[in-house]
Chain A
Amino acid sequence: MTAIETTGLTKRYGHDVYAVNDLSLTVEEGEVFGFLGPNGSGKSTTIDVLMDYVRPTAGSATVLGYDAQTDADEIHQRVGILPDGYSLYDRLSGRKHVEYAIRLKDACDDPDAILQRVGLAADAAARPAGTYSKGMSQRLALGMALVGDPDLLILDEPSSGLDPDGIRDIRELTLEHAENGGTVFFSSHILSQVEAICDRVGILDDGQLVTVDTIDGLRDALGAGSTITVTVDAPPSGLAFDDVAGVSSVVVDGNEIHATCTEPTAKLAVLDRIRETEHRILDFDTRQSSLEDLFSAYTHPTDDRPRTEVRS
């Protein structure tokens, strides 16, 4: 069964401001799906439609097989949400928040167990939420999302405001939820936060889906596996790498030669080719192309970006 499916989903404000533009996306049950995109790319609006906070201009969305607009009740019984731009009730203690969530969801969770899962100590949970740091608020909101053991966990920028400990805890809770057969829809503007946990990622830019792929698929899409930068004693001349296997492009910048290699052995071939000339190699450096490079290539508006889609 599909956990989330949007078809031609569009949300327009005014005449020509598209928050989400013709988004078609499928997230399977049991998946940890990373929803990536820079701030303002339409991630939160998409989630708002899934949660029936906003109504789409066109297209449709289903969550766990239920229509997001007509069956919001059914969806909310089965979904835990950590929304973006939420705030807590300042006077209510952390524990009371969780109790409120349990009563509203008609669940039978133990509030203390929930608080412990998200790492809120009993004395902190007894304090009014108005005194909480951003990290503690985020933990509490995550705890409220876990109430009722939801089938689908929607986390909108869960790592914002968290310290490394908090980010690690979120990661562990996410993986734990997935191991128990749950689905996680994890939105972030930072690729490294979803890289380690997500089965697939979708990259959204300017309201449009630019790619959906596995992390490995994205790595493959990088094509260029790594770059070798060689510094020589003088601006090189008479060098040609056309016939070196595994080299996809070469850029010369002053005394530096940047060669992008699709195969690891090609780097050595590049060095050999330079040593065949009269140039002396002063230094060299190799660098693995990172997913961040790819992510910014996808979401940088001036670049020609490849559009691919791979379904798991």
Chain B
Amino acid sequence: MSWLVIARKEFEDAVRSRLLWGVVAFVTVMVSVTFLIPLLVPAMESGVLAALGGASEFASMLVPIVALVAAYLAIAGERESGSLRLLLGLEPSRRAVVAGKFVGRSAVVVVGLTAGFLLAGVVAWAVYGTVPAGAFLGVLLLTDALGVAFVGIAIGISAASATRSRAMTIGIAAYLAFALLWDLIPQGAHLAVFGGPPGASAPAWFVFLQGASPTGAYSALVMNAIHATDPSYPAATTVLDGPVPFFVEWWAFAAIMVAWTVVPLALGSIAFERADLN
């Protein structure tokens, strides 16, 4: 059970270094502001559901940064400083080290995001007078899941990197790829196939490609979650003309998020287990 000992220390470290409080404060302020934006911009639809949707869109940019920053040094930092030599002297299983780091940093991100979201929820409640509990809870859980997915990616990167600077380089590249560049893939494919950007409707494969990144899957799941509580809010598949194929069902996007959590973690762990640590 040494992974649990390591996870606990990771969490305590985050409390000691005030990383956790930083995450809580950052998330609270940023999410509160996005809740308020629909009120400040008159042209926008100003319902609380729209505000929640807006907050989730913002979260899909913000959460990857929070999770990557909170976890990218977890292993590479210890490897470069040399404290890993003490740690592996006590617990030689590198898989246990990776598991402990993943669980501990995930706990930090989940606690930070949950606390930040709940505080922002209080702000939203004060402003709108009501908060749709079901949709809010759904978005919160999905945001936590997105955080965990990016912790998995960050720990995978950290485990595979020999130095802090390499972990940082790959981490930034991963963020740019997922949060900013991924959308070019479905758009480019649509352009290649139909000679233009999608209009009011889009083919199922376009929806799938959009949702194939961790942030894309998150956005699709958030739409479905809010749609489930209020059918007037669009679901991920609302843009489809015909029937809904299985690969754009909600569980397909859930599977994509799990895969984005587990696969980078596993690959990083394998690289770490094979590495010479000197």
Contact = CB atoms under 8 A, between A and B. Distances in A.
A and B from one complex:
yes
Interface of A: 44-45, 48, 51-55, 72-73, 75-76, 79-81, 83-89, 91-92, 100-101, 103-106, 141, 144-145, 147
| Leading 6 A-B pairs by shortest Cβ distance | A72-B92, A81-B89, A54-B276, A87-B82, A104-B90, A76-B92
B9 A100 contact: yes
B277 A54 contact: yes
- Interface size range on B against A: 20 to 34
Contact of A145 (B2, B88, B89): B89
Contacts of A91: 13, 16-17
B43 interface: no
A51 B92 contact: yes
B13 A89 contact: yes
A52 B13 CA distance: 27
B160 to A, nearest CB: 17
A88 B278 contact: no
Residue among B83, B86, B277, B278 facing the most chain A CB atoms (10 A cut-off): B86
Contact of A86 (B9, B17, B82): B82
Nearest to B2: A104
Residue among B2, B6, B9, B93 facing the most chain A CB atoms (10 A cut-off): B9
Contacts of A72: 92-93
Contact of A89 (B83, B88, B274): B83
B152 to A, nearest CB: 23
A82 B93 CA distance: 18
A155 to B, nearest CB: 12
B278 A104 contact: no
Contacts of A105: 90
A53 B86 contact: no
A86 B86 contact: yes
A51 B83 contact: no
Interface string B54-80: 000000000000000000000000000
A53 B278 contact: yes
A48 B278 contact: yes
B82 A85 contact: yes
B90 A85 contact: no
Contacts of B90: 76, 100-101, 104-105, 144, 147
Nearest to A55: B276
Contacts of A89: 13, 83
A45 B278 contact: yes
Given A73-B92, A84-B85, A104-B90, 5 more contacts: A53-B277, A76-B89, A81-B89, A92-B13, A144-B89
A144 B86 contact: yes
Contacts of A83: 82, 85-86, 89
A100 B87 CA distance: 9
